[in-house]
Amino acid sequence: MALFRNDNGALKCRLHGENLWLLPWGQNALRVLSRPMREPELHPWALLEPKNGPVSIEIGEKEAAIRVGNLAAVVRRLDWPDRLEITYYNARGEVLLAERPGTGALNIQPRFFKPIVGGDFSLTVGFASDDEEKLYGMGQYQQDVLNVKYSTFELAHRNSQASVPFVLSSKGYGFLWHNPAIGRASFSRNLMEWSAQSTTQMDYWICAGDTPRDIERQYADAVGHAPEMPEYGLGFWQCKLRYWNQEQLLNVAREYHRRGIPVDVIVVDFFHWPHMGDFRFDEEFWPDPKAMVEELKSMGMELMVSVWPQISLKSENFQEMDEEGFIARCDKGMNCQMRFVDEDTMFFDATNPDARAYLWGKIKKNYYDNGVRVFWLDEAEPEYGTYDFDNYRYYSGTVAQTGNIYPQLYARTFYDGMKGEGQQKVVNLLRCAWAGSARYGALVWSGDIHSDFATLRRQVCAGLNMGIAGIPWWTTDIGGFAGGDPTDEDFRELVVRWFQWGLFCPVMRLHGNRVPDERVFRETGEELLPSGADNEIWSFGEEAYGIIRNLIDFRQTMRPYVRALMQEAHEEGAPVMRTLFFEFPQDEKAWEIRDEYMFGPDVLVAPVLDADVTHRSVYLPAGAQWTDLHNGKTYEGGQTLPCAAPLERIPVFLKNGSHPDWIGKL
């Protein structure tokens, strides 16, 4: 067989047992695979079937090239060491990305498959590093970092960490590491490197684009667009850990309704069930779910219900699920994957299609048929008691090889079920995501984070990089999850500042485990999981209440605008929260700002992210005029302004005279 061949518009190469494929996968994109000794497999982990444009392939003796739209790849055979090396170019012939260069006597391979004795391979893929390049994306990591150049990432999910291995480059390309294996990515000064602990092949996707918007659109086309957002995704969501009975939740809903405060969604949190894995309400505390849902709907509220993927050994469903193979397994030791409160649990296997169908059957009977139309899919990483990724196994394979796919398929479990029932618009809240999660209606929140300003600051970068990584629906627990006393003045300041930022998040949702706890008992005297302190907007004092209520009212004013942003995310793949450079790619300074962002195309947001702050500076990008939302004053872009930011004010600017009816209302 020849070294290079054109196989129906795909460039396929074979040398020393390696099969290297470059497949057209989009208008300006390639999917690149390599496998030792065997032909690669086209696993549908995240990538959908492509819609390709014209393709051209040229083959020479020691070099072959494939061009798809504005992206070209050249594969060269080197003399020393004897190997194949790939370089990617844009339409202007400029290098976008190149595999690590030939190293002569060092004999370092750009695609290095290291055998695992008796098994498959660990894989490392290296590319040359460009010191001037800026990189964004990679999902949600708890760090105050926007430009991820010179960063290293664990390719694994944890509580508050969602690994979505896509990066957008300032050089004009997007890159998806299309491999759900546990691994690592490093963007260092001398090398860009991707690795998988255990895999059978290399698989990645690369596209070329002239603007960040163009790259994001192509990426969404490749892995799927977010569906249309339901109307109840646009307003305020009320939640706490935890409303522990039906009357308590209804009384809160009635009080919001009495005060005339619009609430789109109110939430029943975890441990409303008898045992984990029962997937139903505990009748002692929730005697009539259908009537509860109906009363909430009469007040304009949807009920969201928490569902965990854990199956307790005490659950009424455990034996059947265990016998049917619907539960993840441990390769070594006892088959217990998490202990919570006093229950040993294992995880439902979301990668098993029969297990997904079984779980949806339980959800439909016990929740959906009672009127519940939105679900909180907690623990979606899943959250192992110990993150020994090499000790767990799914239907899809070992967690070491396939584990990062879990949250995507957990979202699919509910999306497929709800669409099968005829529901047109689906959104469900998850604590994790991977590439392709957005197409299954995944609204991701940033996990069980602390209640302090340092954590608030980290969420801004997390949300912006999640948008770049293809997850446009994203939110946080307003006020943070862990801790916070509603009577404490410092915490009240934090809640106000978090609410101000939350107003300009894709979904505006209050949640948290406030202190002190309220003890909860059964009628028998058995003590159950406690309920946190009050977490309604009137819980934080009169000053905070007045500010927060105004914020919720302004969210209603913005509702048509937010609806348009959600539609743009659905149609174009554009993030709702956007880096400044997304809208202003020609402004070099916009690529550096990490504590401001655009909420859609028109609204520049500069949140206050530190305690005891009453002023902050705001950079206004060049190429537009900017109107202060609070006082109507207009400024030319390309300058930094000092802005007043007393407790009741978040600096916000409107682009080019947009939304004049908003001025003075916040």
Give the active site residues.
378, 381, 448
Question: CB–CB of 350/328 below 8 Å?
Answer: no
What's the Rg (C-alpha) of the chain? 26
CB atoms within 10 A of CB 644: 12
Q: How far apart are CA 372 and CA 304, in angstroms?
A: 7
Largest interatomic CA distance in the chain: 82
DSSP element (H, E) containing 218 = helix 212-223
Helix, strand, coil distribution of the chain in percent, nearest 5: 25, 30, 45
Q: How far apart are CA 395 and CA 401, in angstroms?
A: 12
Structure tokens at 210: 């002239």
Closest residue by Cα to residue 431 from 348, 515, 309:
309
The DSSP secondary-structure symbol of 326 reads: -
Strands of 514-570 (E only): list them: 518-521, 527-531
Q: How far apart are CA 115 and CA 119, in angstroms?
A: 7
Question: CB–CB of 581/591 below 8 Å?
Answer: yes
Question: CB–CB of 186/490 below 8 Å?
Answer: no
Report cis status (omega within 30 of 0) of the bond before 329: no
Report the number of secondary-structure helices (H) and strands (E) in the chain. 12, 42
Question: CB–CB of 547/496 below 8 Å?
Answer: yes
Structure tokens at 435: 């590439």
Q: How far apart are CA 404 and CA 139, in angstroms?
A: 12
DSSP element (H, E) containing 237 = strand 236-238
- The 10 Å CB-count burial string (b at 16+, else e) for 573-608 is bbbbbbbbbbbbbebeebbebbbbbbbbbbbbbbbb
Give the type of residue at 366.
N
Question: CB–CB of 449/132 below 8 Å?
Answer: no
Q: Which residues pair with 85 in a beta bridge?
A: 76
Residue 330's Cβ-count burial label (10 Å; 0-12, 13-18, 19+) is: middle
What residues have CB less than 8 Å from 259, skipping those under 6 apart?
538
Backbone angles phi, psi at 637, to 5 degrees: -75, 170
Closest residue by Cα to residue 14 from 69, 59, 80:
59
Q: How far apart are CA 575 and CA 212, in angstroms?
A: 11
- Residue 334, CB-side half-sphere exposure with 13 Å CA sphere: 8
Structure tokens at 438: 């957005």
User: Reduced to 3 states, what is the DSSP secondary structure of residue 436?
Assistant: coil
CB atoms within 10 A of CB 484: 26
